Structure formats: C-alpha cells, structure tokens
Structure 1
C-alpha cells in the first residue's frame, strides 16, 4: 500500500498537472507545452524512482517525516512546470 500511494498517486498527480499546463499553453505560439512535456518525460520516472528509493530507505522514520518527504518530492516537478508557464505568461516570452 505504501508503494501505491507513494509512487502511483504522485505519478497520476504529475501527469494531470503536465496535461493541464499543456492544454493551458496550447495555441499561444510559445514552446511551453513542449518544455513541460519534455520535463514530464524525464521528471516523472525520476520522481517514481526517487520515491521508490525513499520508501525503501525510510522504514524507521516517523510517519510525519515520511509523508512530508514524499509530498515535497512529488511537488518538485509540478512547481517547476508551473514556474515555466508563469514565466512565459508574465514576461510574454
């Protein structure tokens, strides 16, 4: 069950955020969608691998530290993708 929620849920969340940003940036002539897609292609498997290794190593951690580490790891890619999208929207690149 730890692997389902520690790897599967972040993967679904990251895929949904990637898809929404690609849809939001479609048609404005920038390459945000491509950048977000490429970041997702690399970032999602890396996040899954990192989460797997964290789950295996964190057998003796407290539950709060364990879940906080997994949540922060899962939020890295969506925050980077949102930052890319906001940079293009704000500065009209």
Structure 2
C-alpha cells in the first residue's frame, strides 16, 4: 500500500493498471482508464488513509513478519551449506519496496 498520502494516486494507478486485478475494457484502454479511476478515487482514498495514520499499515506489518521469520530461521536447526545465516527480503507489487 501507499507509504504516504502523496503516494495514494500513484499506488491506485499501479493497482488498476494490472489486468489481473480488474479488466478495464480492452487492453489498450487499461492504462488510460487506470489513470482516470486513480484520479477520481484518490481524494476519497486519501481521506480513508488519513484516518489510519496517513499510510497503509501493510509495509510495517510485513517488515515485522520478515524480521520475525529471519530471527526464527537463524535460531533454528536449519542450515544451508552448513550456515544458519538467513536473510529475508520483502517486496510489494504495487508500491515500494
């Protein structure tokens, strides 16, 4: 999700540009319609995000999960080539990272 209120419109555009999420007409219209939908919905969506701290909580939650998983793996009996050094990375599809 967006990490600030300023990121909401771009996040919505990225989301609605994905035909796997929603098909907005024929393929050649997907990006123009995604721009229109993100433009029309951004103010309302910004207001909703402002009610929960001005950003999506999903990144903070995912970072905490990754840290907990990494700590669990590194304190376990699992090894890779004799090493217990695991590094967990995260990624988001429609926003950073």
- TM category (shorter chain) comes to 0.3 to 0.5
Structure 1 length-normalised TM? 0.33
Structure 2 length-normalised TM? 0.32
User: Bigger radius of gyration, 1 or 2?
Assistant: 2
More helix by share: 1
Greater RCO (CA < 8 Å, at least 6 residues apart) = 1
